[in-house]
Amino acid sequence: MNYQEALNYINESHKFGIRLGLDNMRNLLELLGNPQDKLNVIHVAGTNGKGSTCSFITSILKESGYKVGLYTSPFLETFTERIKINGENIPEEDVARIVTLIKEKIEQGDIYPTEFEIVTAMAFYYYCEQDVDFVALEVGLGGRYDATNIIKTSDVSVITSISLDHVGILGDTVAKIAYEKGGIIKENGTAIVYYQSDEAKDVIKDICKEKNAKYIEVKFDDINIKQSDIYSQVYDCSIMGKKYEDLEIKLIGDHQVNNSILALSAIDFLKETKGLNITEEDIRKGLINTKWPGRIEKIMEKPIFIIDGAHNEDGARSLAKAIDKNFNGKKATLLIGMLEDKDIDGVLEILMPYFNKVITTTPDNPRAIDSEKLKDKISKYVDNIVSKPSIEEAVEYTLKNSSEDDIVISAGSLYMIGTVRTLVNKMLVLN
């Protein structure tokens, strides 16, 4: 297969949907020689902040001279973003080659893996083949039955902020969701855990006790944010008793400071238990060089145009807090598209007070809510609403009807903002 044929093959496996359970994954990986068993894995689960936490970890390890894989989902602009080594996307020819091999193994084994299982197997195979030192492995959905959880051991399990999301699959309470996320914790392992609600914390502590795993809670009491704007953040903090001053990150929002501290806690643990050679200079460079597109990311200056993947209440609160902090009560324009299975009403209730104009659109996803239907939901909050079914129309309309001193924010779905990012960057190049 060539690259496009490989993508088509992966996309065709959508028909198998989401299938919780690891039997298919186990059978497929056995046919591939169990590459996952040869990797040093930093496994990251949670509702929000998984990708940025993984990115902070990989950036610091890269600056320290290690060869490190980063596995995330979904992608924003190109499929190959999902599988990286030291910041470089997997080459298209490697995607084609490995998917061809996987297809042969699937036919040989008479198994029917899902899209995510195929991509995860490809990542394991590629990272093993490339002999990486570590893999920061982001869970796709939940944790306990997620395809990434086929690994037998991990160097550390990291659990980010937990809140309600995917309630139809993971459960309708924070406790049920925490139980699924905590499924990545291994026997006699270590869990480094973002400061949680008592409901989530109790569940994760019980899992650690049951598995004889060490529980390390990362609190955010001792943080002094000295500078925070839409360009960078500078802060002091203490991690495992060590004080750091004037750490700087380019990711925006207080929650990203917390995510960076969670990542640093994992790095500190690895340094102590694995004897890694990581200097404070490596940490500083790794933090400031961390990129995680699509999360409160400024992609245009005039007007200020920010994209964010906020699609649940927790993400919406983080975005609302960043708007409040950076724009001093100035009302903004919102370009929004969402998936129908998300808590749309909860997200709108949090975000709408910050906007006086809204453009609705329909993400390119079968689960998307129609732009007109979304417009109706928003009409009780804002009078000035325009519906543009295609994302391209929506972006063109938004830019055409915005002045240089306006603030535009696009949010609601990662499946949409990647396209928005591509379109805006293309328009900037053309102009």
Question: pLDDT of 58-114, one tens digit each?
Answer: 999 999 999 999 999 989 999 999 999 999 999 999 999 999 999 999 998 878 899
Amino acid at 429: V
Domain ranges of the chain: 3-288, 297-430
Residue 16 banded pLDDT, cuts 50, 70, 90: low
pTM flag (> 0.85): yes
Dig out the tokens for 355 from the structure: 């906007």
CB count within 10 Å of CB 93 equals: 11
Whose tokens are 């051991």? That residue is 153
168 pLDDT more than 80: no
Main-chain phi, psi angles of 88, to 5 degrees = -100, 130
pLDDT at 21 over 90: no
Q: Taken in order 46, 47, 48, 54, is the CA torsion positive or negative? A: positive
Are both 3-288 and 297-430 of the same fold? no
Average pLDDT on 124-137 reads 98
Architecture (CATH level 2) of domain 3-288: 3-Layer(aba) Sandwich (3.40)
The reported pLDDT for the residue numbered 330 is 87
State the residue for tokens 């640093």. 264
Answer whether residue 372 shows pLDDT above 60. yes
Handedness of CA 178, 179, 182, 184 (dihedral sign): negative
User: How, if at all, do strands 88-89 and 134-138 pair?
Assistant: unpaired
pLDDT at 328 over 90: no
Among 70, 75, 47, which residue's Cα sits nearest to residue 418? 75
DSSP 90: P
The residue assigned the tokens 């902090």 is 325
> Rounded to 10 degrees, what is the CA torsion of 13, 18, 23, 26?
60
Placement of tokens 């008793």 in the chain: 241
- The CATH number, out of the four listed (3.40.50.300, 3.40.50.2300, 3.90.190.20, 3.10.180.10), of the domain defined by the range 297-430: 3.90.190.20
Q: What token pair was written down for 158?
A: 């990291």
Q: Residue 137, Cβ neighbours under 10 Å: how many?
A: 30
Q: How many CA atoms lie within 13 A of 294 on its CB side?
A: 24
* Region 395-401 average pLDDT: 95
